[in-house]
Amino acid sequence: MLIAPSPVRAESLFAPRLRAMTVGSVALVSLLAFEALAVGTAMPTVARALDGLALYGIAFGGPFAAGVVAMVLSGIWCDARGPRASMWSGLAGFVAGLLLAGAATDMATLVVGRIVQGFGSGLLSVALYVIVAQAYPEQLHRRIFAAFAAAWVVPSLVGPVVAGLVVEHVGWRWVFLAVPAVAVPAVLLIHPGLRSIGVAGPVRRSAGALARIGWACGAGVSAALLHIGGQQRGAAAVPLVGIALAGLLSCVPRLLPAGFLRAGRGLPTVVGLRGLASAAFVGAEVVIPLMLSRERGFTPTAAGLVLTTGALSWSLGSWLQARIRSPRSRGTLPRAGLTCITVGTAVVGSCVVPAVPVWVGILGWAVAGLGMGLLYPSLSALTLELSAPGEQGRNSSSLQLCDSLASATVLALTGAVLAAGAAPGRFDYGVTLAVAAGLALLGALLAGRVVASPRAASA
C-alpha cells in the first residue's frame, strides 16, 4: 500500500528564522502609527506650553515634508545598498527627533525635532517594505502586510486616548520621550535578520538619483504648503493651496512610475489605486464626525466610535485577504476592496437625508473599512511582486508617496470646501462624500489594469 507523502507546510511568519523579525517589524510599525496619531492629541497643549501657536502648522507640515524627501532617498539607498543602512539611519533620526522634541524649551526647537523625526519615519517606512521583499517568501507577503495593517489599528483605537492620559497625568513631553524606549529594542529584534539580506556586492548606482532627490525636495516643500494651507480658514488658504497643488503636479509625476497618469498596466496602476483608495477613505473619514455631530446630534465620543467600526473592519479585511490562498487574478482583491469602499462611502453619504437611520451609515462605514483591509496589504504585496530586485526600494517609495500625498491633498481640499461657508450643511457633506465614492469607483474600474495584459487577468 502506497502512502502519499504529507504536504509541505507553508512557512509561518513566526517560523524560527522569521519570528524575531516579525515581532520587531510589527512593533516598529505600531510605534510609528502611535506617534503619528498621538502627536495630534498632544500638540494643542504643547503649543500653549511653549507659546508657539504661530508655528503650529509647520509642526505638522514640516515632518510631512521631511518624510516625503526621506521616502525617496530611502528608496534610492535601499536599491543601492540594501535596507540595513536606511533602517539604522531611520531609527537614529526617529529617536533623535523624539528626544529633541521632548526636551524642547521653545516651539522652534520642537519643530526641528519633529522634522528630524519625520525624516527618520520616512526612511524606516520604505526600509521595512524592502526587508519584507528580501527576508520573507512571496507567499507570506500578504500576511505580513496584514500584520502591519493590524499594527495601525490598535494605535488608532487607543493612541489618542493614551496620549490624552499621558498629557494630563504625566506631562506632554512623555508623548515623545517614552517611544524610543520601545523603538530601539524593536529594531534590535530585526537586526539579526538584516545581516543576511541586502548585502549585494558593488553599489548599484540609480540613474537620475540626484534629479529624483531634487524633485522630492520640491514635492516636500509643496506638501508642507498644502498641509499649512489646509489648516487655514478663509481667503488665506486659497493662494497656499493653489501654489502647493501646482508644485505637486510638477514634481510628483516624476517620482512615480512611468505611465502613472494614464493608468499604465502593472505597477503604475497599483500605485494609482493606492492613492485613489487613500483619497476616498480619508476624504470620507474627515467628514463623518462633523456630519454626525452637526446633523445627528452625536457627541464627539459617539462620532469617534463610529470611526472605530471602520478601523475594526479594516483589520478584519486584512485578516481575510491574508487567508485567500490564490485569488482568481491579481486584480481580484483590489477590485473587491475598492468596490466595498465605493458602496460603503455611498451608503454613508445617504445619511445626509434625515429619514435614513444612522445605523445604515455605521454599517456603510464598516463595509468601507473592510474594503481598505482587502485592498492595502494586497497592493503592497503586488508592488513587491512587480518589482525587480534593484527596484524594490524605488517602487515601495512610490507606493507610499502616492498614499501620503493623495491623503494630504484630499484633506486640504475637503477642509477648504467645508470652510467655504460659515456652517457646512447637508449639501457640503453630500458633495464631499460623493467625490470620495467617485474616486473609489474610478479605482474599481481601473483595478483590472494591475495585470500586465488582458490575458494575464485570468492567469
Q: Which residues contact 162 (CB under 8 A, 6 or more apart)?
A: 34, 38
Contact between residue 208 and residue 258 where contact means Cβ atoms under 8 Å apart: no
Residue at grid coordinates 517614552: 178
> pLDDT category, 378, cuts 50, 70, 90?
very high
pLDDT of residue 65: 84
| Confidence grade of residue 236 (pLDDT, cut at 50, 70, 90) | low
Q: What is the pLDDT of residues 40-89, one digit of tens each?
A: 778 788 888 888 777 777 787 788 888 889 999 999 988 888 888 898 99
Higher pLDDT, 285 or 427: 285
Between 426-446 and 392-419, two packed helices, what is the crossing angle to 10 degrees? 160
Which cell goes with 64?
Answer: 510631512
Q: Which helix (H) or strand (E) holds 40?
A: helix 19-49
**How is residue 12 annotated by DSSP?**
P
Chain Cα centroid distance, residue 293 = 26
Q: Which of 397, 458, 392, 398 is nearest to 138 (CA)?
A: 392
pLDDT of 170: 82
Rounded CA separation 423/413 (Å): 17
Mean pLDDT value of segment 4-12: 50
SS3 77: helix
Higher pLDDT, residue 230 or 115: 115
The number of beta carbons lying within 10 Å of the beta carbon of residue 258 is 11
Mean per-residue pLDDT for 241-263? 86
Q: What is the pLDDT of residue 230?
A: 65
Q: What is the DSSP letter of 279?
A: H
pLDDT band at 352 (very low <50, low <70, confident <90, very high): confident
C-alpha torsion sign, points 230, 175, 36, 311: negative
Given a cut of 50, whether residue 201 has pLDDT beyond it is no
Amino acid at 391: E
Output the pLDDT for position 178.
85
- Predicted pLDDT of residue 371: 95
Q: Find, among 433, 369, 438, the residue nearest to 153 by Cα.
A: 369
pTM of the model: 0.86
DSSP letter at 255?
Answer: G
Per residue in 384-404, pLDDT (tens digit) is 999 888 888 889 999 999 988
Q: Which residue has the higher pLDDT, 126 or 150?
A: 126
Q: Where are the domains of the chain?
A: 258-459
Range scoring the smallest mean pLDDT among 6-10, 138-142, 163-167, 274-278? 6-10
Cα gap 30→167, rounded to integer Å: 20
Averaged pLDDT of the chain: 83
Query: Mean pLDDT highest for which of 122-136, 156-170, 296-310?
Result: 122-136
Residue 20 pLDDT greater than 60, yes or no: yes
pLDDT surpassing 90 at residue 277? yes
The SS3 assignment for 54 reads helix
pLDDT of 161 reads 74
What is the per-residue pLDDT for 369? 93
d(CA 288, CA 290): 5
Contact, 313 vs 341, CB < 8 A? no
**Which residues, other chains included, contact 455 with Cβ-Cβ below 8 Å and sequence gap of 6+?**
none
What the block records as the C-alpha cell of 289 is 464626525
pLDDT at 437 over 90: yes
Question: 62-76, 366-380, 404-418 — which one is most confidently predicted on average?
Answer: 366-380
The pLDDT score that the predictor gives to residue 207 is 60
Extract the C-alpha cell encoding 109.
Answer: 526647537
- Report the range of poorest mean pLDDT among 91-95, 376-380, 412-416: 412-416
Q: Which of 303, 288, 277 is nearest to 414 (CA)?
A: 288
Q: Does residue 299 or residue 218 have the better pLDDT?
A: 218
Report whether pLDDT(255) > 60. Answer: yes
Is residue 458 classed exposed, middle or buried when 0-12, 13-18 and 19+ CB atoms within 10 A define those classes? exposed
The more confidently predicted of residues 198 and 201 is: 198
CATH class assigned to 258-459: mainly alpha
H-helix or E-strand spanning residue 179: none
Mean pLDDT of 22-40: 84
Tell me, what's the pLDDT at 233? 63
pLDDT value at 3 more than 60? no
Residue 290, number of CB atoms within 10 A of its CB: 17
